[in-house]
Amino acid sequence: MLRSDADLGISTIPAPAPLESALLGRSPVLAQVPRGHPWSGRTEITLAELVTEPLILMSRTNMSRLVVDETVARAGLTLTAVTETGSSAFAQAPAAAGRGVCLVTDETRFGLAELTVRTPEGLLTVPLYAGWDPDHYARSAIRDLVEGLRAYCDHHAQRYAGPDAQR
């Protein structure tokens, strides 16, 4: 962001100094399955159930994948069968074809059903941060935008997590 003309950046880690940074919220990592899958009528799956299925995961350069790996390890579980991809759409397409359960932060595509993932620590989520130059000429407008994004993230988290949404 420092080397571009961007006024605001969104990331899964706080912006480094000298940028200003704010936590926007936490985005759920969703298990997505085709409509005929035995879990398709459910809204939530446990981590222990999830690891028994073939999984389609993002590559290890993606924060949602790192969160999955860390959470599975902390729970003392093991992933059994994993296919990796660098794109959410490329994870969702084989899931829609019945080749596994994809774990992504994106909205569903291809008629997939989504489930939140319950871990021993709560819902599986990824943090989202905004970062911007504190001396930016439009800092007031940027702060207003950040507050609007925070409100959207809170609303989005409530959609999936109900009253126990992590902040």
Closest CA to 56 of 84, 19, 97: 84
Q: Are 24 and 129 in contact (CB under 8 A)?
A: yes
Closest CA to 72 of 55, 96, 91, 93: 55
User: What is the reported pTM?
Assistant: 0.80
Give the model confidence (pLDDT) of 19-49 as tens digits: 899 999 998 999 999 998 999 989 999 999 9
Give the model confidence (pLDDT) of 123-158 as tens digits: 999 999 999 988 889 989 999 999 999 998 888 777
Using CA atoms of 167, 158, 84, 56 in order, give the dihedral in degrees to the nearest 10.
140
pLDDT reading at 164 higher than 50: no
Q: How confident is the model at residue 98 (pLDDT cuts 50, 70, 90)?
A: very high
CATH, range 27-127: 3.40.190.290
The H-or-E segment that residue 13 falls in is none
Q: What is the sign of the dihedral through the CA atoms of 14, 30, 147 and 122?
A: negative
Q: Report the residue count for the chain.
A: 167
The H-or-E segment that residue 22 falls in is strand 20-28
- Omega before 34 cis (within 30°)? no
